[in-house]
Structure formats: C-alpha cells, structure tokens
Amino acid sequence: MTVRNAEVATAFEEMADLLEIEGANPFRVRAYRFAARTLRDLPAEVGEMVAKGEDLTGLPGIGDDLAGKIKEILSTGTAAAIEAQRKRVPATVTELLRIPGLGPKRVKTLTQELKIRSPSELQKAAQEGRVRTLAGFGEKTEQHILAALAARLAEAPRVKRAVAIPYAEALVAYLEQLSGVGRVMAAGSYRRGLETIGDLDILAVAPAGRPVTDRFVAYQEVRDVLAHGETKASVRLQSGLQVDLRVVPQESYGAALLYFTGSKSHNVVLRQLAQQRGLKLNEYGLFRGDTRVAGETEESVYAALGLPWIPPELREGRGEIEAAKAGRLPHLVDLHDLKGDLHAHTRATDGRHSLQEMAEAARLRGLQYFAITDHSRRLTMAKGLDSTRLLQQMEDIDRLNATLSGITILKGIEVDILEDGNLDLPDNVLGRLDLVVAAVHSRFTLSKQKQTERIMKAMDHPHFSILAHPSGRLIGRREPYDVDMLRIIRKARERRCFLEVNAHPERLDLTDIHCRMAREEGVLLAVNTDAHSMLDLENARFGIGQARRGWLEKSDVLNTRSYAELRKLLKPTMKA
C-alpha cells in the first residue's frame, strides 16, 4: 500500500478536528495541525523516508509520538488513536465539519448547546431559528448555514487540483511504461486546469485495449473496479478519487483527446461546426461519410474546422470558438513570464522561514523582485506586525538588499482592512513601504453593499496597492463573501491599483470568471503565491493556471513587468 503525505496529513487534521470538537487540550490540537502542515510542505514522501530508515523526529513538529503514528498510518492506513477518537465522536458530527463556514469550534458549540448530531438536525435547528441564538453565530450565519446545506446536497465532492496532481502524474507514468502503450494524457477538467476535479479522465494510445485496461485495474492504488472492458475501465483509488481510462488507436488520438478534454459545451459547438461543413465529429475522428478527414492530432481536427488550436484552459464554451474564428484568441500568460512575486510571509508573522531564507528561495527561482508582506497587528493569532516591528523589518530588508544580487526584496505589508474600511496601520508608516497589499480577514458576513463599500473605501487609501484574495473563499471550506466584484474591479481601474490572483491551491482567488472580467475592464492582476514557506513558491503554477483560465495574457499581469516598470506602476505620481 502506498500512503502519501497528503493522506497522513488529512488523518492528522481529522484528529485535530475531532479533539477540538471534544474540547481537548488546545496544545494537543495544535500539535496535530502543525504536524499536518509539515507533512503537506514536505518535498519528500514520508513513506520513502521511513523505507530508507530516516529519522522523522528531525522534522518540524514531529516528536516520537507523532513519528510512531505516521509509521502506523503508513503500514495500516490508519492509527489506533484516530480510530478510537472517531468512535467517540459520531461520524454524523464529523460530517458537520464539511459544511462551509463550520469549523471545529462552531461544531463544538452546536453539539454542546443544541445537542446537534448531524447535518439534518442542523438544518432543522437553523430553520427553526435556534442557531442564531448561540454565541458567535447570529442570523447571518444561520442563513449561510442553510444556504451551504442546500448547496451541499446538490453537489458531489470534488478534489482540489493540487491534491489530484500527484495521483494523475503517478498513474500516467505507470501507464506510459507498459509495453505497447504510446502517448498517455490526463484529459477532462484536469487538463482544462480547473481548480477542482470531479474525476480523472486518462487517455492512452495502444493498438489493443484489453492488455492496457487489465494492467490499469491492477494498479496498486486501486480500491474498487467500477467497470472493466475492452477499451474502457473505471476505478476508485484508495484515496477515493475516481479514474476513467480510455484506450484508443494512434489515428484517433487527437479526436479522442479533444472529446475527453471537453468541456461538454465546447464539444457541442465543435460538433455543430462540423455539421455545418457536412462533417461528423466524434471521439474516433472527423469524418466525411466513412472517410476520416482528421483525428490523429487535435490541431488536425481544429484545422479541418477552420480553427487554430485552442488551449484547453479556454475550452469552456465561453466564446473561445468565436474568438478563434476571428483570430482573437488571447496569447495566454505562462509561468516563465512571471518576473516577481508580490505577496509572501516570513517567520516574523505566520510564515515558516526567515526573511533571508525566503529571499534566497525567490532568487533561486529566478525572480527579479520579491515582496515581503507579513500580516499587520490586527491579526494577533498570526503575530501581526505593529509599526515598530514593521519599521524594524524594513531596515532588515534594506540591509539584506545591500548583500543580494540579481533580486530586489520589496518592503510590503499584508494590512488588514478593518470593518470600517480603514487600514490597520497608520498612513505615515504605510507610505514608507514599496507596496501595500490589503486584505479582509474578518467580518466575512457583512451584507453585499457593506462589504463592497468597506473594500472600496480601503482602496481609496493613498497607499493602497493590491487587494489580496479578493473574494475570501477557501475552496471546499469557505464560501466567498458577498461582494460586488465588478464595482471593485472598476474602482481598481479608477484608483490605478491592482487585484490579486492568489495562487494558493486552496484559494485561487480571483476566480477565472473574475480574472476575465478584470482583463476586460483593463485592470492589471498580480499572480502572487502568498507563500508561507520556501516551498510555497512552487504554487505560482496554480495561480498561472487560474490566470490562463481567465484569458489573461502576459500584458494583463502586473508581475510580468520589469522591476523598473513595476516601480512606476506601484507609485504613480498621479495618485492622491
């Protein structure tokens, strides 16, 4: 059995949640969360470390006890302590945690005060207006819970892209080395760069299907075989992820890849185009009568329909075919276009590495500039900086810059936008920074109008540079707050400031739709990692994926600019 870091981390996070619901010692809860984060950030697979006999207790937050539990999970898939804890907290209570907006603290209150034990009991209590009476809840929260419950019932669980990637890559590599197998590609929403994946769709080229589907269902991580045929098979992996495989002959590869990449709405328009030309398009090729006129490559199919190749990220039936016809497809931004990163944390607040370590990691990635933007004082949980500590950090950065070559460290802050729209640090301090990244970290449930006005007021601030994670959503965990994004985008244009595409795989905020809206309104976006560790700088690729889904070109992205250009854009003389 192969157990990956993410699975061990998930088990530890679950343990922390269970303990917290029970009101266990907060230090124990924190120890599990910290260990989970260590595992998620770990570049090596912990299973391989154990196999090589390496000592896990050298890892941050992993002592003898947790090292033992990791080994137990690696060999048995679970740990006795977690199983025992699961028995003490009923599964229906654990399910409450999966409702957006409900963390362990709130679940604890619900179970203790209202004796709620399941989502359906919660729904009943909310409908009867009993939830709003609890401390820390209120009427708004109650409405949110009801909306989230309704949405949840309509939605199957989806897997975050970052979680799906290692599974997809390992499976593609496994299939590629089978004899007789040619190209192998992950298609579907995965190839379109969607932020979450319903299931994984894999396409393999081989002269005969059966030997490939046989080996596919025998893959070591398969838990259940859902279907197993000549050219198709479907399995569920131990992680719960479903994978569909299709095996096609070489001459159908392009047509099949096009078909299984989707989206359905893109395919529908392509088939209509084919029909208008007296052709028929399916997963085997493009046909005139019985004659295949194209199909071995995607390019051949598009070309036969009078179109250039369309990047998968655009294939959502959102006008890409019209744009392609008119020769107006965007030239999408690439990871290597990024010249800098404008949002990152250090150990001074809630990051894991020092200023020097973060700067070195950014330099090694080839960035020309890198902004340090730690939290402001209001975020006490993250040890937010007050003016004194920020000024101290600015001096540290000046000293560091004097020793660095090839990269400039910019002085910034991720300042809290307070409920009244003011910023959490005084103007005279903010004015001395190279840039001010501002974010909402509190009062997520204000009305749309109040939330929008709060943010717009912050943008009026003379030193405001970038609005961080503009919608505040956490994928699968927290809904975006209610905000009029078009008004905010227009405000950014008027104020000549910028919005962020936060690249953290749990945020990816702005969304693709709002990226596109910003581009159409002429507002530049900053693709930022919001790194809390050196490894987090890798997340830039997820931000770029989102930007590409939002039709962004290099020229639409602020941090593709040279350092000199950037400086002019950050501190325009006109701004007042």
The site for ligand DGT (CB under 6 A) is made up of 188-189, 194, 197-199, 201, 259-260, 262-264, 267
Give which of ligand DGT, Ca ion, none residue 508 binds (C-beta under 5 to 8 Å, depending on kind): none
Q: What are phi and psi of 523, to 5 degrees?
A: -105, 130
Decide: residue 547, CB within 10 A, 0-12 exposed, 13-18 middle, 19+ buried.
Answer: buried
Q: Which is nearer to Ca ion, 201 or 482 (CB)?
A: 201
**Contact partner at residue 551 from Ca ion, ligand DGT, none, CB < 5 to 8 Å by partner kind:** none
Q: Residue 43 is encoded by which pair of tokens?
A: 């570049």
> How near is the Cβ of 250 to ligand DGT at its closest, in Å?
20
Whether the upstream peptide bond of residue 75 has omega within 30° of 0, thus cis, is no
Q: Which partner, Ca ion, ligand DGT, none, binds residue 500 by CB below 5 to 8 Å per kind?
A: none
Nearer to ligand DGT, 364 or 513 (CB): 513
Nearer residue to ligand DGT within complex by CB, 94 or 242:
242
* Chain residue at closest Cβ approach to ligand DGT: 262
Q: Rounded to the nearest whole angstrom, what is the least distance from the CB of residue 549 to ligand DGT in the complex? A: 13
Asked whether position 283 contacts Ca ion by CB under 5 A, the answer is no
Pairing of strands 196-197, 184-186: unpaired
Q: Minimum Å distance from CB 87 to ligand DGT?
A: 34
Residue number, 87 or 264, with CB nearest to ligand DGT: 264
User: Which of residues 188 and 285 has its CB atom nearest to ligand DGT in the complex?
Assistant: 188
* Nearest CB to ligand DGT, comparing residues 123 and 189: 189
Interacting positions 340-359 with Ca ion (CB under 5 A): none
On the 0-12 / 13-18 / 19+ scale of CB atoms within 10 A, 400 is middle
Q: Which of Ca ion, ligand DGT, none sits in contact with 260, Cβ below 5 to 8 A by type?
A: ligand DGT
Rounded distance between C-alpha atoms, residue 280 and residue 388, angstroms = 70
Q: How far apart are CA 30 and CA 413, in angstroms?
A: 26
Pairing of strands 232-237, 222-228: antiparallel
Min CB(234)–ligand DGT separation in Å: 10
Q: What CA–CA distance (Å, rounded) separates 193 from 549?
A: 7
CB of 187 to ligand DGT, least distance (A): 7
Least distance CB 186 / ligand DGT (angstroms): 10
Strand order in the sheet with 280-282: 280-282, 285-288, 291-294
**Interatomic CA distance for residues 167 and 156, integer angstroms:** 19
Closest Cα to residue 546, out of 513, 573, 518, 517?
A: 513
Pick what 267 binds: ligand DGT, Ca ion, none; C-beta below 5 to 8 Å, kind-dependent.
Answer: ligand DGT
CB of 188 to Ca ion, least distance (A): 3
* Interface residue with Ca ion, options 104, 119, 188, 550 (CB under 5 A): 188
Q: Choose among 66, 144, 65, 150: nearest CA to 101.
A: 144
List CB contacts of 79: < 8 A, sequence separation 6 or more. Answer: 11, 69, 72, 73
375 SS3 class: strand
In order of 74, 171, 199, 313, 316, the CA distances from 262 in angstroms are 37, 20, 13, 10, 8
Q: Provide, rounded to whole angstroms, the least separation between the CB of residue 298 and ligand DGT.
A: 14
* Pick 188 or 472: Cβ nearer Ca ion: 188
Residue whose beta carbon is closest to Ca ion = 188
Is there binding between residue 201 and Ca ion (CB under 5 A)? yes
Q: Give the nearer residue to ligand DGT in terms of CB position, either 246 or 378.
A: 246
Q: Are 321 and 276 in contact (CB under 8 A)?
A: no
Closest CB to Ca ion among 255 and 558? 255
Measured CA to CA, the distance from residue 31 to residue 199 in angstroms comes to 33
Q: What CA–CA distance (Å, rounded) separates 239 from 223? A: 8
User: Where would I find the beta strands (DSSP E) of 302-405?
Assistant: 340-341, 369-375
Identity of the residue, 195 or 396, whose beta carbon is nearer to ligand DGT in the bound complex: 195
316 binds Ca ion (CB under 5 A): no
Site map 234..253 versus Ca ion, x via CB under 5 A? ----------x---------
Q: What is the nearest approach in angstroms of ligand DGT to the Cβ of residue 86?
A: 29
Size of the site for Ca ion (CB under 5 A): 5
- Which entry of ligand DGT, Ca ion, none binds 138, CB below 5 to 8 A by partner kind? none
Residues of the shown chain interacting with Ca ion in the complex, contacts defined by CB under 5 A: 188-189, 199, 201, 244
